Structure 1
Amino acid sequence: MVRAVNDARFWDRAARKYAAGPVADMAGYERTLERTRAYLDGSATAFEFGCGTGTTALRLAPFVARIVATDISGSMIAIARERAAEGNHANAVFEIGTPDAAPWPDESFDVALGFNVLHLVAAREAALGGVHRLLKPGGLFISKTPCLKEMNLAMRLAVPVMQFLGKAPHVASFSAAELERAIVAAGFEIVERGQHASRGRDARPFFVARRR
């Protein structure tokens, strides 16, 4: 609980700078959006966790009936709401929350989204369980996640140093294979695996998983 509160404070402090920063690999990001849109239709209800300042939710909002996007940071959510209002995205709702503590009834959504967030979740098993609960049977969980064990040694060594200095939140270290096993153990079957980076080594596997 203390870790979650500290992480929320970290992202609250970082929100405005995060919102102003560019996407590191725009071509890879666009590829992820393209593959995600292939699984959406205009009647679907979608849930996103770790939505940050709402960029992805707002890009995908035109392709679903409704999207509910959450984050642990109130400052991130405030920016996302500003953006939604500016863009007149009436079908996009932004709330503070996490999958394991979401107030919505079981089987509320057709699709769940989690991009660049599972490595930041300390209680990953609980989060995946929450996603499973919120999805309808046969619903899809679509994610792309940085896997620290797949990254170069310099990055793996830098993260704990940055955390010690207060420059980074909680970051879990796992491989793509370990992440896939965790998703399957939470009650999903993998229906697509992908690598979308446009340059360099891709340490952010893209998964589409169906709720069993």
Structure 2
Amino acid sequence: MMKKISKSVVFWDKASENYDKTEERFEYIHSKSRELTKKYLNSSNIVMDYGCGTGTTSHEIANKVKEIHAIDISSKMIEIAKRKAIASKVKNINFSQTDIFDKRYKKESFDVILAFNMLHTVADPQVVLQKIYELLKPEGLFISVTPCLRDKMAFLVNIQIQLVRILCKIGVIPIPIRRLKSSELDDLLVNGGFKTINTEKLYKGASSYFVVAKK
């Protein structure tokens, strides 16, 4: 187990070097997701940004909430995120290299938990959703956006996804990449005890599914 985690960390540490640049082609989806998210936030919220990457989303929403606990398994991602916070003088984000199962996070601690572009890369989405449910306060919100790799996508994106799947299979990319449909995400949330209050399908070369669900 530790070997697998270690490989994943090394992979994401390496990816951090060009992460923001590689995500630029999906900026429409990222920007739209952040704008939709802001509608559900308020100044008293304590938020977890799970799988925060280089911290772009946390920085974008920081002025809408009380505090953010932004976490990622990659120390390199966290280093970049911290530099962004210093440059923009944002002080209400606590960045940590860890995962959602860290025992420091207690039950019913968060008003909102974000998982942007995460659920298709975790080993067991249902277990992750159970943990998110535990960490949310009563009536807390889970907000996610997830690439749906079995839904509509452009031809070139599809070719890239097929290549990624091959690299995953042979171990070059040491993380699971799930080909989810939006309906499967709906089922995961229902099975996790959530009540979906809003969904939106976003498309720019690939399909992503934006969901707001309540505990």
TM-score (norm 2): 0.89
SS in 2 for 1:23: helix
Deviations 1:82-117 (A, max 9, x none): 111121111011111222335211111100000011
Aligned letter for 2:85?
A: A
Q: Which of 153, 157, 163 is 1:158 aligned to?
A: 163
Aligned letter for 1:148?
A: L
Q: Distance in 2 between matches of 1:39 and 1:135?
A: 15
Change (3 A) 1:204 1:168: farther
SS in 2 for 1:83: helix
Deviations 1:27-86 (A, max 9, x none): 332221111000001111100111101011110111000011111111111111111112
Contact 2:144/2:212 (8 A) holds in 1: yes
Question: Is 1:123 aligned to 2:129, yes or no?
Answer: no
What is the Cα-based RMSD across aligned positions, in Å?
A: 1.9
1:181 maps to what in 2?
187
Q: 1:126, CA displacement in angstroms?
A: 1.9
1:33 maps to what in 2?
34
Change (3 A) 1:28 1:156: closer
Aligned letter for 1:169?
A: I
Question: Is 1:191 aligned to 2:197, yes or no?
Answer: yes
The correspondence of residues 195-206 of structure 1 with structure 2, limited to 5 A, is: 195-197=201-203, 199-200=204-205, 202-206=206-210
Aligned letter for 2:64?
A: F
Gaps of 5+ in 1: none
Q: Distance in 2 between matches of 1:18 and 1:28?
A: 16
Q: Distance in 2 between matches of 1:123 and 1:101?
A: 16
Contact 1:7/1:169 (8 A) holds in 2: yes
Contact 2:143/2:212 (8 A) holds in 1: yes
2:214 maps to what in 1?
210
Q: Distance in 1 between matches of 2:191 and 2:4?
A: 24
Q: 1:204, CA displacement in angstroms?
A: 0.8
Contact 1:67/1:93 (8 A) holds in 2: yes
Q: Distance in 2 between matches of 1:102 and 1:24?
A: 36
Q: Distance in 2 between matches of 1:96 and 1:33?
A: 22
Aligned residues: 209
1:46 maps to what in 2?
47
Q: Distance in 1 between matches of 2:147 and 2:19?
A: 17
Q: Distance in 1 between matches of 2:89 and 2:37?
A: 22
2:65 maps to what in 1?
64
